[in-house]
Amino acid sequence: MQNQLDLIRRNTNHGGQPLGDLLWWELVNPTVSRPELQKLWVQGALPSELLPEAPTAEKAFKTAAKEAQVGHPDRLLRLAVENELEIVFGIVSERRDGIGGLQYQQESRVTLSRQSDTVRSDQPGDNMVQKLMARFEELKTVHTADDIRRTISKTLDSFAAVTLRTMGGIYWIPAVYAKELRQLQAVIEQLGKSKMYLVPITATKEGQAALAQAAKASIEEELAALQTEMQQFLQTPPDRASTLMRRLDHFADLRRRASLYQTVLQAQVVGLAENLTEMEGQVRGLLDEKRAKAA
């Protein structure tokens, strides 16, 4: 990988005005305890609000149940009860009767007590139960690869990142966030054997045009999704005012990123300001209606 990376850098860094960095990463054994991740995050001078939510017994239990299902095609884990006191999964065997029918029989129960954050089962010797309970103990105090992946994505969003592939995985981050990006890189590369690859990009006519096109498409796609969501809100307003307030924050963030892309890349989305102003007015109208009903 290092040879390929050096080759890319030689052909993209021409010593001109920095435009930002290309970025991709790979997570290898990134599981980390909550205290350790917080420590690394503070050392990296990254905003604490970008940290993932703290691990919980409920999340650990559901994740452990999902993982325990793997490798058991004839045994199913099914959520049986979820209330304020407990969460119960049932282990059910599935058998084919040979004439097109299926027969099911519950074999055991695994229960999480919400009061004590402990797990018990009526069949503690069952191999599937043991796998679930062991994994639960591992997960209830640590962050998994999925947690780290979501945190990276959330952090890159705050750096005004542009996705360069439809399926994700490769990003461009404007040069104004070069310092913060390298702080993130330093943290991620302390998690297992994970790597974050950065390729500085300098201004060329072709490179700037390609990045401008990608940035413009990113903004247009997000704007279209917000417009669709807004139409749904107008038909069926959300129950919580906080949902609408978050959309106002989202609109402000989109304006900020669009302004940055226009400054750095001369990438402009026609009609963006007008559409955002219209949606902001619609959101404020829905908020006024909620306040009037509550009065």
The predicted structure's pLDDT at residue 151: 95
The predicted structure's pLDDT at residue 295: 67
The predicted structure's pLDDT at residue 15: 55
Do 156 and 171 meet the contact criterion of CB atoms below 8 Å apart? yes
The predicted structure's pLDDT at residue 206: 64
pLDDT tens for each residue of the chain, 295 residues long: 444 444 444 445 555 677 888 888 999 999 999 999 999 999 999 999 999 999 999 999 999 999 999 888 889 999 999 999 999 999 999 888 888 888 889 999 999 999 999 999 999 999 999 999 999 999 999 999 999 999 999 999 999 888 876 656 788 898 899 999 999 999 999 999 999 988 888 766 766 676 777 777 877 887 888 888 888 888 888 888 888 888 888 888 788 777 877 776 666 767 778 888 888 888 888 888 888 877 6
The predicted structure's pLDDT at residue 84: 93
